[in-house]
Each structure stands twice: as C-alpha cells, then as structure tokens.
Structure 1
Amino acid sequence: MKLEEHLKQYFNYTAFRTGQKEVISSILDGNHTVAMLPTGTGKSLCYQLSGYLLNGPVVIISPLLSLMQDQTEQLMMNGEKRVIAFNSFLTSMEKNQALSQLDTYKFIFLSPEMLKSDFILNRLKELQIALFVIDEAHCISQWGYDFRPDYLRLGDFRRELGNPLTLALTATATQEVKEEVISSLGLKKWNEYIYSVDRPNIALAVEVVDSYQDKSDRLVELVQTLEGPGIVYFSSKKMAEKMAIQLKRYGTNRVMAYHGGMEQENRVLIQQQFLHDQLDVICATSAFGMGINKENIRYVIHFHMPLQLESYLQEIGRAGRDGLKSIALLLYSPGDEQLPYQLAEGELPSKEQLDFVYRLLEENKDLIKDLAERDNEVRSLSGLTEIQWRLVEDYLFRNTDKPVQQRFEQLKDFINERLQVKRKKINEMLKWTQTQLNGCRRKNILKYFEEDKTIEINDCCDQCGIDLNVFYSKTDNHKSADNFFDWKKHLAKILLVSERD
C-alpha cells in the first residue's frame, strides 16, 4: 500500500505537505531522522502516521503542557483512544493507572522532566519502543533560543531505553543548534531533512508608531479592518487582557485574552472556541499557539517585539496554514526593545538569588541531600521562579562529585553566557525591525538561517511592496455567537474527566 493510501486511511488527507512523506519514508526504512519543517506544515503527522505503520508504542518528548495536551486532543478527536499525556491534567490515581497499563498505549507524551522519575523510566524500559520522538528539538541546544536543561539529558535517557529509532523535530534551528542536537542525542548515523523556514504566503510588515497610545489605536484599527480570524501577541499577560477589553469596547465582540496565568479549563475553552470559529481574535502571550491546528488564521500581529527571530517565525507561522494569503504585522515604537531585555534577564536567576541559595545550603548541610523533597521550600525562600529553579537544580545535581561552590561558579558562568546569547538575539530582532536600512525583510530573515531568497513573491514585505487591500475584510467579521455548541460536554471530553473507554 502506498503511503498516500495510509494517509487517507488514518487521517483522511489526500496529499502530504512539505517534507512529510520524505521524513516518514526515512523512519519506516529504519533510519534515525532529524527534520526541520516550516511551522504550519504538520510536523506531528510525521510521527503519528509512522507510529501507525510501526509495531510498538511511540514515545514523544514535548516541552510544554499545552503542546502535549493539544496533540493528545487532536489524536483523540481523530478517534485514537490509545494515547496518554503525563502532565498535571492527570490525577495521581489516573497517572498510576496509566503507568500500570502503559503497554496498551500507542502514543505516550512526556515532558523531559518526567524522565527523571526512575519509576517512569523503568516502566518505559519494559516497552519495545517503536519510535522515540523529540518535539521542539531546538530545546536541547544550550545556544538555542528556548533551551531547557532537562532536554540535555535526553541522550542519556535514550541510551537507557536501548537507543530506539529516533526522530528529532523542529521548525527553527540554526546550523549550530542542529549540530548540538545531533551530538547531544548521540546519533551516529542519521538522515537529515532540512527545509526552508520561509512561508511565501505570509506577507511581512513592520509599522513604526510614535507612542504606546498610537500603537493601541493602530491595533484597534487593524483588528477592525483586517480579514480574520487573527492572533495578537503580547509579552505581558496584563496587556493582553487590557487590549482584549479595549477591542471589545470598540466593537470587536468575539475576542478573548489567553495566557499561562489563566485556569487550565478557561485556556482550553478559549482555545476550542477559537478553533471552532466562535472567536475572531485572541490576545495572547506566547503560551498560545503551539499545536494549534487552525488553518484559516489570516493575520498575526505582534504588539510587543519578540525576544528573537526564531520565536517570531514560530508565532507568525500560525497564519495561513491553508496556503492562502495572510499577513504578519509587527508594531514597533522607539524603546520597545527594553521590555525584551528585562524579560531575558528575568528568565535567569540573578547573582543575588544564587548567592542566597548557596548560603542557605552552606548553613544547612543536610538540605542539599533532601533537596528533591524540599525544593519548594528553597524556591520560596529564594524567590526563584519554576523555570529559574530548574536551571539551579540541574547544576546542583549534575557533576555531584564537584564541591557545591564550584557548581555554583559554573552556573554563574553559564548564566552570563546565556544572557549574552539572549541579548545578541534581541539585537538581531531589533536590527530586523529596522530592515528599511537593509532591504527585503524576507531576504534578511532567511539570511539569519543561512538561506537565500530564491523566488520572487507578490506581497512579499513592506519594503518590497504590499497591497494591503488584499488583506482587508470583505465581510462582517463580527458575527454573533449564536451557533449552539455544547461546551460542557466538549470540555469534559478534552479534559479527560468523562468516563474513559
């Protein structure tokens, strides 16, 4: 049977998107595979269809709870019941029950932190894993924009699981990052499928405004005139909520804010309403988008400047997945780069926080022995966020043969290096917003990923020329939400609180 026939059988699609067939063929031929596919081209199908055609379970390592949940929901909505995501949506009882019958699942989603559990790792060792998948594989690289310490251990975990057939997936990775991913996973021989990050159907534009008020007014105007649906990205939870209220005040009724500080049930509800065309606009932080399989998003607006080109590409890639014309607009006002600098510094522990933790451990010698059980106590006392603590914890438990002081000094050196990387990426993003000095925006973003612009595109970018009339609304986007939909029943299914089969 041809792969296209399997695609029709399992997913009711008639044709593959860019790179999917090549990656799946490589896996089915028994090759470790590294794939960089553009955002919006369906990376998840690469392991899902391969999984159906291989004997044994597929283990997927995913960095975000929301991404895991999205992929799990999509599989379940496609009729697949042999899927489990080990995350905070599961109660302890549900988690233990799932682990006791782990061999009955076809798709097993895990965060890299979960693999630190000896019990979970030992249960995985009992399986004949058909495919080991690292989603968002750029998180492995210390020089990637979204580094996660626990991703560095995936090579060790992979060896403990017997070096199963491996697929590493990402949408944005420089050559340096890709090489570190391969090295960290310990791949000796592999096939590589690297496709352009370019999405030719998405026009790129930056609008410079003088002030915050001008930016707010312009956002209202854009949302009222552009063909939707659309996503507006903010770097601030508070600002996402504030602008959602303002948009409603000016007549855009079907709009909601979305960010990581909301209750899980509310986030899932808003996400599903957007997917089912009951909302036209989402005012979101970067917590929204990964795994969102909505093909008709017509615009993505950035109210705040992203911290790097990689995440910018990820976020604008949510537009135009149906291949139709869409637009990405970044609103910039002088000084906007200060917020990214502050956010970058806030993601990492400060010297003062590290010194406090060090003194705490020196004064309480037994504390480091019980750190795994008392980590919340140390976090609370030091004021570290969960993300900051993961980094500290990783260095404290790694290289345990070295004195604690030496580990802290190494951590400080690493944080300084990470901060320099983050500042460099913010500067690159800022430089890109000022592309009017250097020509085509698309050419410059491709150059960053060591690509050349090889095709001429109508409505390429604001520097090459865009006909904005193409993107203006031709119908009334502000429809009334009068279509009946049983959200209580639908949410119960999604949140896995209904009776399981």
Structure 2
Amino acid sequence: MKLENLLQQHFNYPSFRKGQREVISSILEGNHTIAMLPTGTGKSLCYQLPAYMLTGHVVIVSPLLSLMQDQAEQLMMNGEKRVIAFNSFLTLEEKQQALSQLYKYKFIFLSPEMLHANYVIQRLTELQIALFVIDEAHCISQWGYDFRPDYHKLGAVREKLGNPLTLALTATATPEVKEDIIQSLSLDNWKEFIYSVDRPNISLSVEAVDSFPEKTERLIELVNKLEGPGIIYFSSKKMSEQMASLLRERGVQDIAAYHGGMEQESRILIQQQFIQGQLNIICATSAFGMGINKENIRYIIHFHMPLQLESYLQEIGRAGRDGQKSVAILLYSPGDEQLPYQLAEGELPSDDQLTWLYHWITENPHALKYMSANELEIKRIAGLSDIQWRIIDNFLHSVTEDQLEESFNLIKNFSKDRLQVKRQKIKEIYRWIQLTECRRKNILNYFKEDNKIKIEDCCDICGLDYTKYYVSRTREDVIEGERGFHWKEHLAEILLSERI
C-alpha cells in the first residue's frame, strides 16, 4: 500500500509535509536515521506511521512529561489504544501493572530517567523492538542547549536492547551537536535528513521598550490588534497567570494561563480548549506547545527573553503550521537578560546545596542506599528543584561510599561547565536581539546554513508590515473592554510581584 494511502487511513492527512516521507521511507528501508525537521513540520508522524508497518513495539524516549503525555493522548484520540506513557502521572501500582502487560502496547513512551531502572530494561529486552525513537535528540549532546546526562547514556541503553533500528529526532541542532548524537548512539551506518530551521512564513520582530510598564502596555496593545490564535510566552509561572488576569480585565476574551505547576486535568482541559478554538490566547511558560497539534496559530509573543536561540526557534515554530503568514514578536526592555542568567543558575545545583547534601550523606548511615526513598525530604531541606535533583541523582546512582567525594567533585565540575555553556547561549540571543542586520540570516548563520534568502516581511530590520497580522476591531470594542478597569493599580500589583 502506498504511504499516502496509509497516511490517509491512519491519520486522515491528504499529504506529507516536507521531510516526513523521506524520513519514513528511510526507516522502512531499515536504516538508522537522524532527522532534523523544523518545529511545526510533524516530527512525531515520522515514527507513528512506520509503527503500523513494522512488526514489534516502538519505544519512544521523551525528555518532557508534558510532551510525552501530549503525544500519547493524541495517539489515543486518533483511535490507537495500545499506548502507555511511563511517567509520574502513573501510580506505582499502575506502573507495575503496565510493566507486567508491556507486550500489549505498540507505543511505549519513557523518560530517560525510567531507563535507569534495571527492571524496566529487563522487560524491554523481552519484547521485539521494531523502532527505538529518541525525541529531542539534541539533549544527548553536551554542547546542546538542553543537555541531559540521562540522554547521554542512551547509547548504552540501546546496546542493552540489542541495537534496534533507531530514529533520532530534533528541530534544532548545530553540526557539532549532530556529530555528538551520532557518536553517543554508536551509529555505524545511518541516513540523515537535515532540513533548514527556517520557517519562511513566520516574520520575526524584536521590539525594544524602555520599561516593564511600557512592555505591559505594548503587550495589551498587540493582543488587541493581532489576529489570533496566539501564544504569549513567559519565563515565570506567576507572571503567566497575572498577565492572563490583567488581559481579561482589559477586555481580552477567551484567554487562559498554562504552566507546569498546574494540575494535570487543568492542563489537559486548556490544551483541548485551545486546540478546539474555545480559547484564543494562552499565556504560557515553555511547558506549553510541545506536541500541541494546532495548525492555525497566527502569532507568538515572548514577554520574557528566552535562554537561547534554539528554544526561541522551537517556540515560535508553533505558529503557522498551516503554511499561512504568522508573526513572532519578542518584547525587550533594558535588563531583561538578568532573568535568563538567574534561571540558568537555578537549573543547576549550587555549591552550598551540594556541600549540605555531601555532609548529610556522610553523617547518615545507609543514606546512599535510601536516597531515592528520601527524595522528597532531601529536595525540601536542600531546596532542590526537580531538575537539580535529576542531575544529582544521575551522578550518585549506584555510587559507593568510597566514590562519594569523587562523585561530588564531578557534579560540581559538570555544573560549572554547563553554566558556562548556558551563559554563552544567553549572550548569543542577547546579541541577536541587539542586531542591526537581518535577524533571519543571522539565525541561519548560527546553524551553518546558507543565508542567501529573500523573504517578504522577513523581520523588523528588513522591513515588516504589522497591519497584515491585525484583525479589524472597532474603537468601541476596545473602549468597552477598558470601561471600569483601574489598570494602573493592577499594573502596580504585578510590578510588586515581579520584584518578589
């Protein structure tokens, strides 16, 4: 049967997007495959469609719970019941039951941390694995912006599973990162499909404002003018909620906040309401968007400065998946770069936290043996985030007391090196914000791509007509939304909370 017929049969799509057919054909020919497809081109289809033509199970390693959950739920909504996602949303009893019946599932989603467990590996070795998929494969590389130590071990995991047919997927990888992926996975023969990170239908714009209040007023103005649907990205959970509230009070309808701190049921509801058109605007952290299959998002606004160009491209790539014109606007005010530096430092364990934990382990007999059982208590006392804990747990996994001091030195050196990489990434996007020449060409240069392009409404520097993205609204509509609202008082409250 032709691939197009299978596409129509299983997913009700009339045709493939750029790169999908080539990647799928490579897999079906039995080739290990590396695919770099820009955000919004449907990377998940590259393993979902071949699954129906391959005998055996498809194992998908995914770095984010929200992404894993979104992709699993979309498969189930599409009628596929043989799906399981091993993550913290499952109870211990549910995990044990699923593992005992693993043979029933065609699609098995796992976090890289789950592959630490020998009993998980053992159950997987009992299956016929048709395809081993590594989503967001740039997490493998120590030079990648989102390096995960557990991802770096996937080559060893793959060997334990018998070196099955492998697909590595990413949207943003420099040539150095791609080579690191190949080496880490020990791929001897492979095919690669590297497509441009550029999305020509998305216009790029950076707007400089003088202050936080001015930025807030400009955001309100843009939301009232731009044709939706749209996503507004924030680096703060609190700010995503407060700005959604402010916009509602300023007359903006069909808007909601979304972040990783919300209950699972609330997140799923908001996602579905946005996909179905019941919500028009989402004020979100980076937790929103991965795996969301909505083609007609018309604009992306960044209220806070992203930590790197790679994540910026991923987030703006959620616009214009239907190929229609869309716009990405980044609002910048002096000093905005300080927040990314703080966030980068907060993702890594500090020397003080590591010193406390080292002493706690040395002073408590059997502490190493029962660290996982004491995870919540350790995180609470030491003030460790989930990300910080994962880094520590990765280095201390199966460590003996004799190796403890050396392991803590390794954690400190790792944190120092990663912080240096993250700071460099922040400097790169800060320079991009300050550019006086074409923003698109600069991005293509960064990824070592040919930058000989000419696009209408390319970016704010080349020339950009905002009115093409505006919706027609009457002055009375805007006044009605503002009537009776004391915006200065509300803005003062937000400013206060931003300092806290």
TM-score by length of 2: 0.92
Any residues of structure 2 matched to 1:410-429 within 5 Å, and which? 410-429=410-429
CA contact (8 A) 2:38 2:198 kept: yes
Matched, 1:450 2:448: yes
In structure 2, give the amino acid aligned to 1:416: K
The 3-state SS of whatever aligns with 1:150 is helix
Distance 1:398 1:19 in 2: 42
Distance 2:153 2:446 in 1: 28
Moved over 3 A (4+): 398-402
Alignment partner, residue 468 of structure 1: 466
Alignment partner, residue 271 of structure 2: 271
The 3-state SS of whatever aligns with 1:372 is coil
Alignment partner, residue 294 of structure 1: 294
- Structure 1's 50 and 402: CA in aligned 2 closer, same or farther, altered over 3 A? farther
The 3-state SS of whatever aligns with 1:371 is coil
Q: Deviations over 1:93-147 (max 9, x none)?
A: 3323322221121111111111122222211111000000000111111221112
Alignment partner, residue 389 of structure 1: 389
Aligned-residue Cα RMSD (Å) equals: 1.5
Larger CA deviation: 414-423 vs 370-379: 370-379
Distance 2:272 2:350 in 1: 38
- Structure 1's 400 and 364: CA in aligned 2 closer, same or farther, altered over 3 A? closer
Distance 2:329 2:25 in 1: 37
Distance 2:148 2:310 in 1: 15
Alignment partner, residue 486 of structure 1: none
Q: Deviations over 1:340-371 (max 9, x none)?
A: 00110011111111111111122224212332
Distance 1:120 1:399 in 2: 20
CA contact (8 A) 2:225 2:473 kept: no
Larger CA deviation: 81-90 vs 156-165: 81-90
Alignment partner, residue 134 of structure 2: 134
- Structure 1's 398 and 207: CA in aligned 2 closer, same or farther, altered over 3 A? farther
Alignment partner, residue 245 of structure 1: 245
Distance 2:223 2:400 in 1: 54
The 3-state SS of whatever aligns with 2:35 is strand
CA contact (8 A) 2:203 2:458 kept: yes
Distance 1:323 1:402 in 2: 58
The 3-state SS of whatever aligns with 2:372 is helix
CA contact (8 A) 2:227 2:298 kept: yes
Matched, 1:161 2:152: no
Alignment partner, residue 328 of structure 1: 328
In structure 1, give the amino acid aligned to 2:451: K
The 3-state SS of whatever aligns with 2:300 is strand
Distance 2:472 2:412 in 1: 55
CA contact (8 A) 2:24 2:49 kept: yes
Alignment partner, residue 203 of structure 2: 203
- Structure 1's 401 and 173: CA in aligned 2 closer, same or farther, altered over 3 A? farther
Larger CA deviation: 223-232 vs 352-361: 352-361
Distance 2:270 2:137 in 1: 28
Shift of 1:475: 6.6
CA contact (8 A) 2:34 2:191 kept: yes
Distance 1:400 1:96 in 2: 28
In structure 2, give the amino acid aligned to 1:431: R
Shift of 1:57: 1.0
Shift of 1:402: 6.3
Alignment partner, residue 282 of structure 2: 282
The 3-state SS of whatever aligns with 2:374 is helix
Alignment partner, residue 258 of structure 2: 258
In structure 2, give the amino acid aligned to 1:201: N
Distance 2:363 2:105 in 1: 47
Distance 1:407 1:75 in 2: 41
Alignment partner, residue 90 of structure 1: 90
Gaps of 5+ in 2: 478-500
Gaps of 5+ in 1: 479-501
Any residues of structure 2 matched to 1:470-485 within 5 Å, and which? 470-474=468-472
Distance 1:248 1:44 in 2: 34
Shift of 1:316: 0.2
Distance 1:37 1:305 in 2: 24
Distance 1:398 1:418 in 2: 23
Distance 2:111 2:414 in 1: 23
Distance 2:285 2:449 in 1: 29
Shift of 1:397: 2.5
The 3-state SS of whatever aligns with 1:267 is helix
Distance 1:393 1:46 in 2: 32
Alignment partner, residue 81 of structure 1: 81
The 3-state SS of whatever aligns with 2:197 is coil
Distance 1:449 1:215 in 2: 30
The 3-state SS of whatever aligns with 1:377 is helix
Q: Deviations over 1:202-244 (max 9, x none)?
A: 0000000000000000000000000000000000111111110
Distance 1:255 1:465 in 2: 30
The 3-state SS of whatever aligns with 1:7 is helix
Distance 1:361 1:259 in 2: 34
Distance 2:369 2:242 in 1: 45
Alignment partner, residue 66 of structure 1: 66
| Aligned residues between the structures | 475
Distance 2:378 2:73 in 1: 36
Q: Deviations over 1:459-496 (max 9, x none)?
A: 100011111111001479x9xxxxxxxxxxxxxxxxxx
Distance 1:466 1:7 in 2: 37
Alignment partner, residue 186 of structure 1: 186
Q: Deviations over 1:26-59 (max 9, x none)?
A: 1001010011000000000000001111111111
In structure 2, give the amino acid aligned to 1:29: E
TM-score by length of 1: 0.92
Distance 2:377 2:159 in 1: 33
The 3-state SS of whatever aligns with 1:328 is strand
CA contact (8 A) 2:229 2:296 kept: yes
Shift of 1:401: 9.1
Of all paired residues, the percent bearing the same amino acid is: 67
In structure 2, give the amino acid aligned to 1:263: E
Distance 1:103 1:336 in 2: 50
- Structure 1's 402 and 176: CA in aligned 2 closer, same or farther, altered over 3 A? farther
- Structure 1's 475 and 81: CA in aligned 2 closer, same or farther, altered over 3 A? farther
Shift of 1:398: 6.4
CA contact (8 A) 2:368 2:400 kept: no
The 3-state SS of whatever aligns with 1:158 is helix
Shift of 1:404: 1.4
Distance 1:90 1:335 in 2: 41
